[in-house]
Amino acid sequence: MSQTPNFTLTTPDGIDLFVYCWLPAEQPKAVVQIAHGLAEHAGRYARLADALTSASYAVYANDHRGHGRTVKSADDLGFFAERDGWRKCVNDMWQLNRHVAVKHPGLPIVLLGHSMGSTLAEQFMGDHGDALAGVVLSGANGKPAFLAKIGGAVTWAERVRLGPRGKSKLVQSLTFDAFNKQFAPARTAFDWLSRDPDEVDKYVADPLCGFSATVQLWIDLLDGWAAVSGKAHRNRVPKALPVYLIAGERDPVSGNARQLKPWMAEYRAAGLMNLTHKFYPNARHELFNETNRDEVTDDVIGWLAQVVARSDRSAAEQHKAVAKEDQGCAGPVQSILAAARFAAEKHAQQKRKGENGEPYFNHLLEVAELIAATSPELDVELMMAAFLHDTVEDTGVTLQELEQQFGKDVAALVAEVTDDKSLPKEIRKKLQVEHTPDKSPRAQTLKLADKISNLRAIISSPPVGWSRERKLQYFEWARQVVSGIACPNEFLKAEFDEAYRGISKLKES
């Protein structure tokens, strides 16, 4: 195993996520992204990473907010954020996932989450499942038990009493302290983690482990647990996504695995087709630090081999399908060209606002070119939407017409980036800033490419009649819109930053 220099990823709100990276000596066959648990850090997965890299997997793992080397001061230990902490942690994982995808283009990515990390991984399955080849869940909670039902009320009451950064002995007694009761008389407060006393002692001695979480983090975690337990979330998980659930049969976090069986039943009822599991007798919470850890690791590597083989077969089948479509002259390129022709006809009489009077279609073409450069794999629907994204606003085309001609996915993307022209312009601009964080990743990509093209045009062919102040206002507004994109494509973000630097020319004019 070779470990590259550790690095940081800076989030949109300015947090420097500390990331570990372990690479095999040879070309990796897939990537494993690890999400660690509560009150620990990603550095504890070095032994697992060693086994994975020996099997030719690249491994990446970030320290979550409030954990490990992401923390900048003792006050931040055990604290996600003042608000939206759960969502920000999931977005952090997505940012790392996209970074990995750029570093290892075309390789399958499997997400492995432990404990709290398994709940984050479960959220990720619903939000970004299409970006994953598989998911391993270790030490999961399962179906919410009594604690989850009363925990929200307790933690909110404690937040009022102690403040968001307060640490509650009551909440601690209902969680970590309660987990250890079934192992009385216990040698330490963390005997529930593993049967291996050496591993428990390492955890106890680690200053970045075993700390009390803030009440705000507990609120975030319980809210996240409730969110992933809902039917709406389960229905968003791709039905064919392979999921491997592993647990110890004496893990108190899942009620000794009892809470996992109804959890599996609900996912299967939602249509999840490739859910498998293995429960280990007498094992406790941290399977990768248990006395049978080698067995657990071998089982995971065996499952990964099946997932990679499945992913390889799927890729081969897709290539065959594309080749067959190309032979029949009905492939993706023809679909994109049909959308481009439709847009060219609808915008035929429209010019850009610039002094050069360019055809409006040039803008659509530039947006499509930017999106095409974001990935070696062509996103056909997104490319079609790039050409069509202004047809509803500017030409009178309806979403129903787009759906009939180009399908539901394309029409839905156009709908996401279409403003309500019945509203005043200032209201529309305000809503773009407010709503961009909630858009789908594909719609955010489209919006980002659109803003790049517009900023470039303001510099190269300034809109007729626009004052210097109006141009500066547009640059600032575009920056606000783009800042709402949690994990922008790295190429597009660099292009936006380059275009935005044109503001210096405006200020000098």
Q: What is the pLDDT of residue 505?
A: 76
Domain presence at residue 167: no
Q: Are residues 480 and 345 in the same domain?
A: yes
Contacts of 285 (CB under 8 A, 6+ apart): 115, 139, 179, 192, 193, 194, 248, 251, 252, 253
Check pLDDT > 80 for residue 439. Answer: yes
How many structural domains comprise the chain?
Answer: 2
Q: Does the reported pTM lie above 0.75?
A: no
For every residue of 293-331, DSSP letters joined together read HHHHHHHHHHHHHHHHHHHHHHHHHHHHHHHHHHHTT-S
Q: Are residues 354 and 298 in the same domain?
A: no
Q: What is the pLDDT of residue 334?
A: 85
Check pLDDT > 90 for residue 453. Answer: yes
3-state secondary structure 139-176: CCCCCCCHHHHHHHHHHHHHHHHHCCCCCCHHHHHHCH
Rounded CA-CA distance 37/286 in Å is 10
| Percent of the chain residues topping a pLDDT of 90 | 72
Domain presence at residue 295: yes
Check pLDDT > 90 for residue 191. Answer: yes
Q: Which amino acid is at 474?
A: Y
Q: What is the pLDDT of residue 96?
A: 96
Domain end marker among 284, 315, 346: 315
pLDDT digits (tens, 9 = 90+) for 371-411: 988 876 778 999 999 999 999 999 989 999 999 999 999 99
Q: Are residues 299 and 379 in the same domain?
A: no
Angle formed by the axes of helices 380-388 and 399-406, nearest 10° = 140
Q: Active site residue: 223, 295, 394, 401, which one?
A: 394
Q: Are residues 304 and 336 in the same domain?
A: no
Domain presence at residue 364: yes
Q: Are residues 310 and 398 in the same domain?
A: no
Q: What is the pLDDT of residue 29?
A: 95
Q: Are residues 297 and 401 in the same domain?
A: no
What mean pLDDT is predicted for residues 99-107?
A: 91
Q: What is the pLDDT of residue 346?
A: 94
pLDDT digits (tens, 9 = 90+) for 282-312: 999 999 999 999 999 999 999 999 999 887 7
The question of whether 130 is a catalytic residue gets the answer: no
Q: What is the pLDDT of residue 322?
A: 44
Closest CA to 148 of 225, 212, 209: 225
Check pLDDT > 70 for residue 281. Answer: yes
Q: Active site residue: 393, 401, 409, 419, which one?
A: 393
Contacts of 84 (CB under 8 A, 6+ apart): none
Domain presence at residue 166: no
Domain presence at residue 170: no
Q: Are residues 101 and 239 in the same domain?
A: yes
Q: Are residues 23 and 103 in the same domain?
A: yes
Q: Are residues 130 and 261 in the same domain?
A: yes
Domain presence at residue 98: yes
Domain end marker among 256, 287, 315: 315
| Percent of the chain residues topping a pLDDT of 70 | 93
Question: Which residue range is the domain that position 100 belongs to?
Answer: 2-143+219-315
Q: Are residues 456 and 379 in the same domain?
A: yes
Assign 314 a pLDDT band (cuts: 50, 70, 90). low
Q: Are residues 361 and 405 in the same domain?
A: yes
Q: Is 261 helix (H, G, I), strand (E, B) or coil?
A: helix
Assign 160 a pLDDT band (cuts: 50, 70, 90). confident
Q: Is 385 helix (H, G, I), strand (E, B) or coil?
A: helix
| Mean pLDDT over the full length of the chain | 90
Q: Are residues 284 and 339 in the same domain?
A: no
Lowest mean pLDDT of 237-241, 298-302, 473-477, 504-508, name the range.
504-508
For every residue of 10-57, DSSP letters joined together read E-TTS-EEEEEEEE-SS--SEEEEEE--TT--GGGGHHHHHHHHHTTE
The question of whether 490 is a catalytic residue gets the answer: no
pLDDT digits (tens, 9 = 90+) for 37-51: 999 999 999 999 999
Rounded CA-CA distance 418/243 in Å is 36
Task: Look up the CATH number of the domain holding residue 500.
Answer: 1.10.3210.10
Domain presence at residue 64: yes
Q: What is the pLDDT of residue 326?
A: 45
Rounded CA-CA distance 101/63 in Å is 19
Domain presence at residue 158: no
pLDDT digits (tens, 9 = 90+) for 43-73: 999 999 999 999 999 999 999 999 999 999 9
pLDDT digits (tens, 9 = 90+) for 428-437: 999 999 999 9
Q: What is the pLDDT of residue 147?
A: 56
Q: What is the pLDDT of residue 133?
A: 95
Check pLDDT > 70 for residue 100. Answer: yes
Check pLDDT > 90 for residue 109. Answer: yes
Lowest mean pLDDT of 50-54, 315-319, 338-342, 423-427, name the range.
315-319
Task: Look up the CATH number of the domain holding residue 35.
Answer: 3.40.50.1820
Greater model confidence, 224 or 284: 284
Tokens 């270790």 sit at which residue?
138
Greater model confidence, 51 or 105: 51
Assign 467 a pLDDT band (cuts: 50, 70, 90). very high
Q: What is the pLDDT of residue 325?
A: 46
Domain end marker among 315, 348, 383: 315
